[in-house]
Amino acid sequence: MRDRILATGTHDERRRNGTFARRATVAVLALLTAFAGTTGVGSAQTAAEGSWRPTRPQLVPRTDHSNTLMFGGKVLSAGGRIPATTYHASAEIFDSKTNLWTATGSMATARWSHTATLLPDGRVLVAGGFTGTPSGSNSQSVTDTAEIYNPASGTWTTVPALNVRRALHSAALLPDGRVLVAGGRTCNQAPPAVCNFTFVTTSAEIYDPATNTWTPTANMNVPRHTTNAARLPDGRILIPNGFWGQGDPRREGEWYDPATGAWTLTELTETTHARQGAIELSDGKVVIAAGFTGGVISEVFDPVTNTWTRVGNVAQARFNFFFTGLPNGRALIAGGQVPPSLTRTSEVYDPTTGTWRSGGTMPSTHGSSSSLSNSYKAVLISSNPFTLETNHAVCASLCGVVLVAGGNTTGASDLYVPACAGIPPNLSVYCSPH
């Protein structure tokens, strides 16, 4: 039962303070009772580090969708598909205070393998993606449409189209509040022509919410898709590795400098990676792990030296998984494809040791085996997505907890409670003593 605690100090401080520890035992029992009551699910699974439990499933099963943390501890889940069956314009909201999913307005264009970016004013920009009935092949229609979700009204507004239609591209919020999108699969013909791996773009463009316009910026040095973007502490955007074309994963990444509008190649990583995610660590570094062709290798990019360093291996080679940074400074990868099937396992990276540990087994599978899929960010719940502010009146017993939603045919969603060890003294989040 003792797997949840409200952390307001370091693990060592709590262990030394016997009075606090005795009080915490009572608090843990109370929190578990309240938590189980709100989710309506069974007991947690104890992991080597942290713990998992299911929460209520999504209203609409979806994979290759977007999950975006908004202000107020709410998560917007939009679009997606059920492979070879259907694709979605629908969207729904997870409320961390009630642990409930509710339907919200639908997009004008059904899409999947798109990007979704939270804007500084709390709206969400969705751009590009595949559209049309999933074919299960490497030929698929791509859209240039973009829309913005307004949480105040629960509605979507169509904004000007991208200059280049793209899917499996990367997107990131720039320090000045604009949005960079780059790369991706595209087409060499007008809609509704389908695309294949031959058509991958180097192009990049920027959306300015102040003027509601897309403006081209410098092209990347290498065409790439099926990777993710990470923002570095100095404002640069790192896009590591990915695919160039069919069966051609990359060993180098590149960064975009918004001050100059230029791209610079990184040095080569030790191996190729694609569908591998890019996890921002609290020390400013970025870790990438496994991925298609990456095997069990993980590597860390240092923005001070602009170099890659190989770190400890993951236990399982996987791709198309969920990933996120954690409030204790560590990184989580969960689910994904471990050929020949999807896995329920998870792993946690500790940057202080450069090693991975088991994060335990998820109640459900999450991820995809499709070549039209990617690894996606899980959602670290807080009341303020930009500061990890934890107002417990807003995110209640899920402040600091990770939501992994969808990526399966049932809509199953699970919650990961990070380990208490390493959480800063000034951060009030729920965590696991394991």
Burial 14-53 (b: 16+ CB within 10 A, else e): beeeeeeeeebeeebeebbeebeebbebeebbebebbbbb
The HSE-up count of residue 283 (CA atoms within 13 Å, CB side) is: 15
pLDDT (tens digit per residue) in 86-96: 899 999 999 99
- Give mean pLDDT, residues 155-164: 98
Contacts of 6 (CB under 8 A, 6+ apart): 24, 27, 31, 428, 429, 430, 431
Residue 22 structure tokens: 């005795």
- Give mean pLDDT, residues 389-402: 92
**The amino acid at 127:** A
72 against 370, higher pLDDT? 72
Identify the residue whose tokens are 């991820």: 367
242 against 28, higher pLDDT? 242
Give the domain CATH number at 149.
2.120.10.80
What proportion of the chain, given as a percentage, has pLDDT over 70? 84
Contact present, 383 and 394 (Cβ < 8 Å): yes
How much is the pLDDT for 351? Answer: 97
| pLDDT exceeds cutoff 60 at 406 | yes
pLDDT (tens digit per residue) in 253-310: 999 999 999 999 999 999 999 999 899 999 999 999 999 989 999 999 999 999 999 9
pTM of the model: 0.90
Q: Which domain holds residue 330?
A: 5-431
How much is the pLDDT for 323? Answer: 97
How much is the pLDDT for 214? Answer: 98
How many domains would you assign to the chain? 1
85 against 401, higher pLDDT? 401
